[in-house]
Amino acid sequence: MAFIITALITSCNGEQGGQHKEDQSHMGSIIGKASPTIENGIMTPEVLHSFGRIGNVKVSPNQEDVLYQVTYVDIERNKTNSEIFKMKVDGSDKKQLTFTNDSETNAQWIENGEKIAFLSSKDGSKQLWVMNADGGGMERISDVEGGIDGFTYSPDGKKVMYIKGVKSVETAADRYTDLPDATGRIVDDLMYKHWDHWVEKVPHTFYATIDNGQLIDHIDLLEGEPYEAPLLPFGGTDALAWSPDSKSIIYTSKKLTGKAYAESTNTDLYLYSLENKTTENITEGMMGYDVNPQFSPDGKQIAWLSMERDGYEADKNRLFVMDMSTKEKSYLTEDFDNNVDAFIWNTDNKTLFFVAVVEAKTQLFSLDTDTKKVEPITSGKHDYTSLALGKGTLIATRQSMSMPNEIYAVNINNGEAKELSFENKDILAQLTMGNVEERWITTTDDKQMLTWVVYPPNFDASKKYPTILYCQGGPQSAVSQFWSYRWNLQMMAANGYIIVAPNRRGLPGFGQEWNEQISGDYGGQNMRDYLSAIDALAKEPYVDEDNLGCTGASYGGFSVYWLAGNHNNRFKAFLAHAGIFNLEAQYLETEEMFFANWDMAGPFWDKSNATAQKTYATSPHKFVDKWNTPIMITHGELDYRILASQGMMAFNAAKLQGIPARMLIFPDENHWIAQPQNGVLFQREFARWFDQWLKH
């Protein structure tokens, strides 16, 4: 596969933009947009990884230009690379501004749009750089030990707030200086590991002054504190906010460690005064997650996302606003029975625009802070994934099961959307995507459940097709119109399968009652929902009911293991990735105990806890004597959320009973599969496994 730069490569002065154009003669080829071979219009793993991945969309201060980054994949070199682009808000005059293999990311407009700040990994660590708006005149302005993980400029342009890791525990080499090469870790409390790493440092929020084009006077807002700010693993600069007058900072932190951290979600917003060097907890007494603060344009209010209950990570994501002078708080989305996923202020200081999943589609909404009235802006079969404010429009990214993220201009008044970026137009034009159908299926308790059905390309209703049930992870993650580079339903369908993806119990977008039902009922109604969906489709004449498969990851992997012992011979093959096989072991192996305590209702040794005992009674390993169907297991050994031993136990259980089984272990992957060649390997083995057992 050849990789070439196909984006526009001239700046407004006719020369290449980019930091190192003079270095390109010895750099080797630059990882850019792939030019894959597409045969018969059918998606392949290689084609899937050739799409440009758009993110970090920023509108210029004059609202005339859009800045964004695109990440490209080079399968042969097993690497990714991000470049910075800009265009006019109408989609014209596209320019690529950087041309290196150093992954320029996190680009932001500064100096009233005259310049752009960004991170680059040149010289081995991510540091802060600036360049002219045309991509020229690049200059590094930071030299932060260990690098910078994210940044945001103050509104007056005189300071920078940034994130970097700081040491949080004493290592063996610290304690015993005569053993500098000792690798043993001394552990005294919980949270010694998190998602995919051993916790020896935590992110802190710093700010620095810009003096003569360089960062000086670095201040750690949590100096001497062993807390995360922002939270791992997903927190970034969206957890930080500058006041419009540049005199205050709000940062997000869970000021707990060890066992207390592991058992709690109580995250607060801290207001720091640059003048007084004082810190105030402005959400004290609000016991769940409080995250993503944003000042109103006039600085008189702060809005943020808040969960109510401590220990419940999938609680309703509520939109709150606080008057900064009186500290009076207002719950804005009390009458909106769904989560708010992201939001921005309008310039009028009273309107908020937000993103929310409703009935398995992610749309844009407006909210009047005075009346608390929510109005939908968009509709249609797609997912909006981010939004920014343009001149009379919203500049938003949008995807669907049939298209990766692209940038759109959305009319605020009527929701009409115009595509701007067209990053993947050429590849999409060569592909035949399967039809995506929305079905409402009656469940065993007489509810209506939205189920997506994705048909193979060139579907012929006169033929019969093997069919795969897709089980979602989370467990409380929406089965919306998502596009994924691993669990891509169009990729699965391109292998010649009908894919059935139900929005079973325990998913957001259908109200809180539907979302919360799953907690304490892992082997209950949501499993019956899965079976309702596959049973309904199996009645169709074009579904080969004798060749049904089942797959999923994380909680979806748990679902696969559970169904393997409770499917009454419906399925002919299973595939589970990063799934929970033994709930009792999972309770003691995982790290965020608040999740296990809420969803499993407590430890397995508490015999007085009826809900917990009910949960552990549904553990998949307790039904393994009923397994009789070929099963494939995949897992990453760097997965510290669900340890790889869970997958190994399941594989061993199958082999010891003489059940055909295969295991694909990734020693260098975590809960996800991030490396390009591993991603292709996964897709190839996925297809090989199901082809072996469902196609005859």
Residues with catalytic function: 554, 639, 671
DSSP classification of residue 455? P
Count Cβ atoms below 10 Å from residue 243 Cβ, excluding itself: 19
59 three-state secondary structure:
strand
* CA distances (Å), origin 463, targets 264, 439, 456, 534, 552: 53, 21, 11, 18, 26
4 three-state secondary structure:
coil
Cα–Cα dist 696/694, whole Å: 6
Q: Answer left, alpha or beta for residue 502, where phi above 0 means left and psi between -120 and 50 means alpha.
A: beta
* CA distances (Å), origin 678, targets 226, 471, 579, 644: 35, 22, 18, 16
Structure tokens at 313: 């990570």
Q: Any bridge partners for residue 440, and if so which? A: 450
b/e burial code for range 545-580 (CB count within 10 A of at least 16 → b): bebbbbbbbbbbbbbbbbbbbebeebbbbbbbbbbb
**CA-wise closest residue to 68 among 103, 36, 37, 108:** 108
User: Which helix (H) or strand (E) covers residue 647, if one does?
Assistant: helix 644-656
Most distant CA pair in the chain, distance: 75
612 three-state secondary structure:
helix
Q: Is the dihedral of CA 200, 474, 634, 654 positive or negative?
A: positive
Structure tokens at 10: 């001239």
64 three-state secondary structure:
coil
Cα–Cα dist 496/468, whole Å: 10
* CA distances (Å), origin 89, targets 275, 384, 518: 38, 18, 43
Cα–Cα dist 550/560, whole Å: 7
Cα–Cα dist 538/242, whole Å: 55
302 three-state secondary structure:
strand
Q: Any bridge partners for residue 500, and if so which? A: 453, 469
* CA distances (Å), origin 608, targets 58, 119, 413, 587, 614: 54, 54, 56, 17, 11
Structure tokens at 236: 């970034």
Residue 516, amino acid: E
* Residue owning tokens 């600036």: 130
Cα–Cα dist 537/357, whole Å: 25
**CA-wise closest residue to 330 among 350, 303, 290:** 303
Q: Answer left, alpha or beta for residue 103, where phi above 0 means left and psi between -120 and 50 means alpha.
A: left
By the 10 Å C-beta count (0-12 exposed, 13-18 middle, 19+ buried), 20 is classed as middle
